[in-house]
Structure 1
Amino acid sequence: LGYPASNVEFKKGLADAMPVAENTVDLIISNCVINLAPNKRKVFREMFRVAKPGGRFTVSDIVADQPVPQYLIHDAKKWGDCLSGALTLTDYMAGMTDAGFVGIHLITSSPWQRIDGIHFFSVTLTGYKLPTQLPTAAPRYATLRGPFSRVVDERGTAYLRGIPQPLTQDLALLLSQPPFDSLFIFSPNPRWLDRADPRWASVLPSQDPCLWTGDFALLAGPFLEVCDDDHHLFRRGEPAEICSKTRRVLETNGYSSHFAILNRAGEPAGGEAVSCAPTGGCC
């Protein structure tokens, strides 16, 4: 590569048994490989073992919107096509979480194929292995910014928008990592957020009628669950049917990076318009 000494080393091994020492890798990358592994959770654990504290992974893979049935799992050709071995997004992210990674979230997503009503789509995910030490000036309080009105982090801690939350050392470590660090306001003392503050970032649906067209939203991290301002609850990796108004909300800047949108309608769909109450809540 033009360097006076080689800075590249190739090692032959298996994804679930890497010939690499633990806590030595800054960045783990993979492109549609984990999908082919028979024991993906073992691969996730091995990734966590070799990653340095403060290291991260970025992987692209194929996932499904529902569990793949046995007749497809045992189809060798579709396995080779990265279809039969696909996990649901929920199981994929849960496997990474159980291995020890945090801050797991979506970077990109796009439709791939649809077979027998199962939607397969390509995702790129990233996540982190927590560092072992806090920064010297660790924050004592975190205040959730908008647009979400409520979130639950990967430790099961709930936060309400605009209300300061005291931090334990573990939570301070977690929230100091990307992408959490951009979603909170950190301070040494309690700091409330006023509704007039642009960081409140409320996004309300329009007052147009709702249309149901077969759209589903998948929360793709980094939180386990979130609520919007129209009282919808989304859980990570679980498809939730949404109307046209909610889709427009989720496509705004504050929301769009956290969701993958898929359409499950077998053909173009457009049901009758549904009138909503002024405060929302029709869907």
Structure 2
Amino acid sequence: MTSATAFPPRRLPEPAAMLWLIKPITWFPPMWAYLCGAVSSGVSPDGRWGVVILGVLLAGPIVCGMSQAANDWCDRHVDAINEPYRPIPSGRIPGRWGLWIALAMSVLSLIVGAQLGPWGFGATVFGVLAAWAYSAEPVRLKKSGWWGPGLVGLCYEGLPWFTGAAVLSAGAPSWQVVVVAALYAVGAHGIMTLNDFKALEGDKQTGVNSLPVTLGPERAAGVACGIMTLPQLVVIALMFAWDKPLFGVAIAAVLAGQFWAMTVLLPDPKAKAPWYNGTGVTLYVSGMTIAAFALRALA
């Protein structure tokens, strides 16, 4: 499908389009980060599996799903250029239903977050506000190629990691956990920059100054690779400093796999960015998992 006119007018949303609106494929990173946080806390989940499962659902289908719905609603004019077959510009989610879904899921996020105690609720409030700040005018941090990906990286990796550790610990996580979570959140800035390649033309026409727009695809890809790499090098150094050399070697091996993937990406970033988001990001998340178990051993 290449045109919104390919779909007949509707009064109610199409169920399949509602699922597409909240993009299940995007739920994995924050869900996995929450689990990394729970592991890194060093606290046994025995007797607390309820908050672990609830936190995973909150991080993925609920908060991340809400952020995707909010972004699609606020980006409907951009999507009409880039991807007119998507749920809102195609008319499969008609009228203001996209906005109502995003608002309803924002309320649901806060209700569920309140069940995870003060740390979980505070993190949820931050996540909901960040989702709207990223997408909605007049703030719309998405317009910035630096602030936008940074905020998304924080909410996809750092915030759920911190939340998982805080909920399991019933208090503030250790400084080591906070540092490693923050480093992986910084690295995720590069992942989000690569994600912007798919909207390059629409961003140019609508004033979204993503790094692919402002720097060009080749330079933006190089910057993204550098931003992904440097925090992982710091994590590797910390593993050795904290007397966890085997974990450091394992993370270094995962990073070496990313270097190989980058050699495929950089010659043609516009074409290879989706491939890297499946290959390199999987390796990136694998390194997060190794770091989480290192922190657990440290605890």
TM-score category, normalised to shorter length? under 0.3
Relative to total residues, which structure has the larger helix share, 1 or 2?
Answer: 2
**What is the TM-score when the length of structure 1 is the normalising length?**
0.26
Relative to total residues, which structure has the larger strand share, 1 or 2?
Answer: 1
**What is the TM-score when the length of structure 2 is the normalising length?**
0.25
Larger Rg: 1
